[in-house]
A and B are shown apart, each in its own frame.
Chain A
Amino acid sequence: AQSVTQPDIHITVSEGASLELRCNYSYGATPYLFWYVQSPGQGLQLLLKYFSGDTLVQGIKGFEAEFKRSQSSFNLRKPSVHWSDAAEYFCAVGGTGGGNKLTFGTGTQLKVEL
């Protein structure tokens, strides 16, 4: 069974500081990996995705993520955080077998201090 672990429930960073949100996955085959962001009262917006190829993927809003197969990780990074980045971030894994369901982590709530 596929699963996702986001070990940090809450993270606080200062505006302008760098950010790294951790994500570890468990999946039997090559995973498809995603990061979504959810602002309060909003739906989930796709930040970036990894299917294959270059293990460093670029997304919207200046975010990037690196796929490391040996560590089963897909950490999200941003070099300089803006106050508007405060939101909840979800890592998800999908696969090719039996449809296309996404399994989500429990999310990391990001707070940005001005």
Chain B
Amino acid sequence: DSGVTQTPKHLITATGQRVTLRCSPRSGDLSVYWYQQSLDQGLQFLIQYYNGEERAKGNILERFSAQQFPDLHSELNLSSLELGDSALYFCASSVRDTAYEQYFGPGTRLTVT
């Protein structure tokens, strides 16, 4: 158990819908990262937050957004969902915003039908 929690574990929804994935980092970690894992794209970095501020952005679609709250938990919002958004979404956390190992949560499996 890494100490990073993600809810829900599984999510099934229809195309065009909007969902919110939630992540709580390890105690003491200030930085949160979101990654997408799919069969065709592999593990892709989406976005990083550090102490409430966006720190780095990767291959995140405009239909996706994220935020980190004062209690340091983070939410990833996915809207206008398409079949291709079906994937495993991981949250990770680390103590600092750079040069530090990341600990991953168990993931949320999103299925868009």
Contacts and interface: CB of A to CB of B under 8 A. Distances in A.
A43 B101 contact: no
A90 interface: yes
A74 interface: no
Nearest to B102: A102
Interface stretch (B68-76, B78-86, B104-112): B104-112
B42 interface: yes
B48 A99 contact: yes
B58 A51 contact: no
A95 B2 CA distance: 22
Contact of A43 (B2, B45, B50, B94): B2
B99 A51 contact: yes
B48 A101 contact: yes
A63 interface: no
B24 interface: no
Nearest to A92: B43
Contacts of A90: 43
Given A34-B101, A44-B90, A101 B106 contact: no
A7 to B, nearest CB: 15
Interface in A1-52: 32, 34, 36, 42-46, 49, 51
Interface of B: 2, 4, 31, 33, 35, 42-43, 45, 48, 50, 55-56, 58, 90, 92, 94, 96-107
29 contacts: A32-B99, A43-B90, A43-B104, A43-B105, A43-B106, A44-B104, A45-B2, A46-B102, A46-B104, A90-B43, A94-B99, A94-B102, A95-B99, A96-B98, A96-B99, A99-B50, A99-B97, A100-B31, A100-B33, A100-B56, A100-B94, A100-B97, A100-B98, A100-B99, A101-B58, A102-B33, A103-B45, A107-B42, A107-B43
